[in-house]
Structure 1
Amino acid sequence: MKRASIRDVAKEAGVSISTVSRVINNSSYVNEELKIKVEQAIKKLNYKPNIIAQSLRKGKTKTIGFVIPDITNPFFPNIVKGVEDYLKKEGYTLLLSNSDQDLEMETKIINTFISKHIDGIIFTGTGSYNPVLEKLIEKGIKIVFLDRILEGINASYVICDNKSGILELLNYLYNSGKRSFYFVNGNQNTFSARIRYETFLEFMKEKKIKKYNHIYTNFSYEAGYKFGKNIKSLPEVIIGGNDLIAYGIIDSLQERKIKIPEDVSVTGFDDILFSKHYKPSLTTVKQPIYEMGYKAAELMLKIINGKQKKIKGIVLKPELIIRESTK
């Protein structure tokens, strides 16, 4: 069956095409009698306006692209929900795509978004410098970094205060008597992993702690499991770069009959949904994940609508959550 056009609606209602357009877009006054005729014709013909064509005429598609690096990481569903909840409220649509921590794929996604005339990009990428982003910003494409700051690229961002979060955790562990540490961190090229490592190193030096180690891995359960399976000499505490790493460490150590927290304490970072239900429940640093997504979407629309003209950074406060995996 042929799809009804705006011309068909005008013919059915006995009005001009411009009158139908004014009714659909609510752009100027149309008397009530003609308005009712147009609405009845639209209903009868099951007419659906071409939203993309309308958007392009107005210069906005009311669509935002969102790049995430790992769709399997439970950190991201809540952050995506925060973004989408705000955008829905404002009448925008979200296009979500996963880069699988691959810079080449990330670039393809960005180019696809641009080809679809999106109004802006919320970006949580691989963490590696991407020259395509810099060129797009120079061309005026609206970009907000979420949980990322990329060196050499000047753009607005929303992050959690990683420094204060890891520092609060370290102070708690130190005040609990811990004097030997192993930090199993995430991806080296990500902003959050680097800041947490720098803060960890500063703390070790400040407290004159001699027994400490650090390793970059990736933010995954498998990375934690592999570490826990192979570690020979246990410290007093193992700090996971995120909750997934901590889960892997806990499982592999328990398989080796190592008790947590009796033999070694384990901590995470994020406080994703399962952390309070894990066995033992996980001591971690709670990121305001949903709020980060919500604030990023809010900032994006302020930039699009000209209400935020200067580059802005929003830094949200984390919270230490103490549970059973530490003593």
Structure 2
Amino acid sequence: MVEFSQLSGISRPTLSKYFNDPTSVRPSTRAQIEKALQRYDYRPNLFAVNLNKRRPKIIGMIVPDLTDPFFSQMVQHIEGRCKALGLFLLVLSSRGDAKLEARAIETLLSLKIAGAVMAPLGQASKVSLIHSLQARIPIVFLDSRLDETTPFVGTNNYQSVPLITEYLCRTGERPTFFEMPAVNHNASERRDAYLKTMERLGLQPEFITVPPRRDWRFEDVGYTEALRVIDSKGGLPSRTLLCANDRIAMGVVAAAFQRGLKVGREPDCHLRIAGHDDQPSSRYLCPPLTTVAQEFDRLGQVSLDLLMTRIDAGENRSTLPEQIRLDARLVMRASA
């Protein structure tokens, strides 16, 4: 910036004011600066400028899988909110790998940032490293919490799973729960919520289990395991399947098609299949998927709002409410 000041003939304090807020300098000065920027192709180093600020303008975000529609939607919503607030969002992906998650945390530890939104891998996470980051900056956990006390925003599985389980029981044969890999606490919570709902209704719960490995390729898991059960001696335990998430359901629908089983709620259909999440592509599945809808925009908004509140609170953030769970809504489509 010193070199640019000398070349443009504009004082460094004036340049600093401009880069912090272009409207804070006189129009004639602003025009002079913008002409010099174009002439000398100068751009301030975002990270260097950030180091000089008492309150950093960078928010970090770590997600397990950027190809997952849920997390890509979250990034989109939070990035839009950050832009409106004059903040820069730095997004890192762990790709479902604990070592890559640790590296992402170390990257954030090496930077001066205001706070972070993180969707941790859960049991596979290096908790001591996350605690080191928590000691430096405010963190809000999204979708998957670290424990019962850490700041967290997610879907209320104990409201959403009973909602769709009761619907399936009302409208046809009782559902069998098709599990998801135990990648985070949602897997166990959704299983438990289904179990408790079936017991409350006086019905026998049934499960289709999946391999214990932490596999984020949910469609592959649903497809492979559904084929295994369909082709087994006993076959499917029920003509209604409640899948732990929509991506599992997509794999199951593909497996049913592969074996000539018609999915839907019409009298000539062999299977009813429902999911959880309402991923953006779920409405375009064939048939469109019955599911419970998470509010993507609200999850992103509440996560960032909670983080900004904790950033503003400074030393007093330990007294703030820690965990927020949002209810889902039933979305009835042709699959069940």
> TM-score under structure 2 normalisation?
0.84
| Residue ranges of structure 2 left out of the alignment (5+ in a row) | none
Shift of 1:20: 4.4
Corresponding position of 1:165: 160
- Tell me the distance in 2 between the aligned counterparts of 1:21 and 1:213: 62
Is 1:131 aligned to residue 128 of structure 2? yes
Shift of 1:24: 4.6
The residue correspondences of 1:3-152 to structure 2 (distance < 5 A) are 5-10=1-6, 12-13=8-9, 16-22=11-17, 24-25=19-20, 44-128=39-123, 129=125, 130-137=127-134, 139-151=135-147
- CA-to-aligned-CA distance 1:232-266 (integer Å, 9 cap, x gap): 32213111111111011111112111221322211
Shift of 1:135: 2.9
SS in 2 for 1:159: strand
- Tell me the distance in 2 between the aligned counterparts of 1:19 and 1:211: 69
Is 1:200 aligned to residue 194 of structure 2? yes
Is 1:213 aligned to residue 220 of structure 2? no
Shift of 1:9: 2.0
Is 1:279 aligned to residue 275 of structure 2? no
The answer to whether the 8 A contact 2:121-2:144 is kept is no
Give 1:315's match in structure 2, choosing from 319, 325, 328.
325
The answer to whether the 8 A contact 1:222-1:248 is kept is yes
Is 1:290 aligned to residue 286 of structure 2? no
* Equivalent AA in structure 1 for residue 80 of structure 2: D
- CA-to-aligned-CA distance 1:208-235 (integer Å, 9 cap, x gap): 3225124255551011101210113221
- Tell me the distance in 2 between the aligned counterparts of 1:211 and 1:156: 33
> Which shows bigger deviation, 229-238 or 125-134?
125-134
- Tell me the distance in 1 between the aligned counterparts of 2:177 and 2:209: 6
**CA 1:269–1:195 in 2, change beyond 3 Å: closer, same or farther?**
same
The answer to whether the 8 A contact 1:85-1:294 is kept is no
Identity of aligned residues (%): 26
Is 1:175 aligned to residue 170 of structure 2? yes
**CA 1:33–1:324 in 2, change beyond 3 Å: closer, same or farther?**
closer
SS in 2 for 1:209: coil
- Tell me the distance in 2 between the aligned counterparts of 1:303 and 1:325: 42
Shift of 1:311: 4.1
**CA 1:257–1:133 in 2, change beyond 3 Å: closer, same or farther?**
same
**CA 1:324–1:44 in 2, change beyond 3 Å: closer, same or farther?**
closer
- CA-to-aligned-CA distance 1:47-104 (integer Å, 9 cap, x gap): 4333322221113441122111122222222111111110111111112122121112
**CA 1:42–1:256 in 2, change beyond 3 Å: closer, same or farther?**
closer
| Residue ranges of structure 1 left out of the alignment (5+ in a row) | none
How many residue pairs were aligned? 317
* Equivalent AA in structure 2 for residue 286 of structure 1: A
Corresponding position of 2:228: 230
Shift of 1:18: 4.0
Give 1:186's match in structure 2, choosing from 174, 180, 186.
180
**CA 1:325–1:135 in 2, change beyond 3 Å: closer, same or farther?**
same
Superposition RMSD in Å: 2.7
- Tell me the distance in 1 between the aligned counterparts of 2:47 and 2:326: 35
**CA 1:123–1:19 in 2, change beyond 3 Å: closer, same or farther?**
closer
- Tell me the distance in 1 between the aligned counterparts of 2:96 and 2:11: 53
- Tell me the distance in 1 between the aligned counterparts of 2:271 and 2:210: 20
* Equivalent AA in structure 2 for residue 276 of structure 1: R
The answer to whether the 8 A contact 2:119-2:141 is kept is yes
> TM-score under structure 1 normalisation?
0.86
The answer to whether the 8 A contact 2:253-2:273 is kept is yes
**CA 1:52–1:246 in 2, change beyond 3 Å: closer, same or farther?**
same
